[in-house]
A and B are shown apart, each in its own frame.
Chain A
Amino acid sequence: MKRIYMDHGATTPMREEVLEAMLPFLGEKYGNPSSLHFFGRESLKALDVAREKTASCLGCAPEEILFTSGGTEANNLAIIGVAKGSPPGKNHIITSAVEHHAVLDTVKFLGKSGYDITILPVDEYGMVSPQQVEDAITEQTILVSIMTANNEVGTIMPFEEIGGVCREKGVYFHTDAVQAIGHIHFNLQSQPIDFLSLSAHKFYGPKGVGVLYQRRKTKLEQICYGGGQERKLRPGTENMPGIVGLGKAIELAVANMPANREKLLRLRDQLIPGLLRIGDVRLNGHPEKRLPGNINVSVLFVEGESLLLHLDLKGIALSSGSACTAGSLDPSHVLLAMGLDHQTAQGSLRFTLGRDNTPEDIDYTLEAVRETAHNLRAMSPIYRK
């Protein structure tokens, strides 16, 4: 059967060049980078190279890169680490209602642990405005965490303007850039960002490895205890194959960004009008300020999981914000925060395109969605036409 992967927001296939770079570190290059001998030095060298590559892709210094086990850990370290390191009296943290749970639930945890938290609402596109952030900052605010781009609807936040507000007010700014790497250009030395999270498996790298960028001279406390690795902020023997893979993957992602962007935009501009032509389909998220490969729509009068199952049977891999796919009672917190009613959120479908998708894939997918929507609407009690 033809198989089409359009779920690159969930994870991406690893690139061959990345696998090749990693293989020696799963084999003969097994040294612990903390060891003094040859084996250790060989690994330490590779660790340094990966750190330098990552820093150069982000426009920051190698010392500002902390390797972690992924986006989730980077977000936890930034938020809990800043909170733990905050001076007395500074106990207020601001975030948005559409963050990934790795941010939202971490902030809520701090809320239960005695910190003051503000969860900013978003507009119909899933956007937070710099003005909202400015209005929410108080004398007690220590940290603002707003994502660069949303994983569900692709909306790109005005993160630089928000960072500017934070800088002006003397508040740390963290941004979850997990979905943005390879799509948005960063030059951290000149951007008002103090902390930034990323995860290798979202840009054709391996799973289980990520980065927290920490601007020099910011105060971050460790949240995990052990050895002295990663300036003691992330103790534990380094995931060498993962880190080497991340270094290679980010290098490729940043080098290919312009070409990849152009390709994704072309596919997207084929997919979105095609979906809208099906009828009773609405685009979720910002019409322009969105990631090039993200298309989130609600197919009205039908439920997302049944759409996904039928499309999966036709070989198409997508995701949905439906409650039924999450195994929870409520549909996507992002779509609800944007003001969608439950039924519209239930019918959401997320296409996240990637470098291997083709115009033929889009044609096949459009036909499959059209047919599936037609069949499911025929059995829908809320669709009678």
Chain B
Amino acid sequence: MYNEKVMEHFQNPRNVGEMVDPGGVGEVGNMRCGDIMKIFIKVEDNIIQDIKFLTFGCGAAIASSSALTEMVKGKTLDEALLITNKDVAEELGGLPAPKLHCSNLAADALHKAIEDFRAKQ
């Protein structure tokens, strides 16, 4: 069902865990299907220096969290805000159609984390 790239991220997710003293935190949940994603960012000079995630969800949800963290590390906040859920799915080489909603959380959670960071400045 999932391609190799998705399975690779699922089996070896990058940047998993809770961050101590994060600059911003974003959490989104899909109330119906139940997937929940939490993103922590550390920002210096407007650049995402570090990012971590926690995810409750299926293979697609975990793989897209992992892929997103790799995509935005080292990016400026403005660059990171341009990343969409679709970009994440594309980065993974595509997801099965019924799974797209599961990956729809990753970019949303990141955007919330950035908002949270900016609100605290």
Contact = CB atoms under 8 A, between A and B. Distances in A.
A329 B33 CA distance: 5
Nearest to A380: B56
Interface in A307-351: 309, 313, 322-325, 327-331, 342-343, 345-346
A382 to B, nearest CB: 5
Given A302-B56, A324-B58, A324-B102, A378 B10 contact: no
B59 A330 contact: no
A324 B63 CA distance: 14
A380 B55 CA distance: 5
B58 A381 contact: no
A129 interface: no
Interface residues of A, number: 28
A303 interface: yes
Contacts of B18: 384
Interface stretch (B34-42, B85-93, B110-118): B34-42
Given A303-B35, A313-B11, A379-B17, A324 B60 contact: yes
Nearest to B32: A329
Contacts of B57: 303, 306, 324
A379 B33 contact: no
A379 B62 contact: yes
A380 B62 CA distance: 10
Interface in A193-227: none
A152 interface: no
Nearest to A323: B33
A379 B54 contact: yes
21 contacts: A301-B56, A303-B57, A303-B58, A306-B59, A306-B61, A309-B10, A324-B35, A324-B99, A324-B102, A329-B33, A329-B101, A342-B34, A343-B56, A346-B34, A378-B17, A379-B16, A379-B53, A379-B55, A379-B62, A381-B55, A383-B56
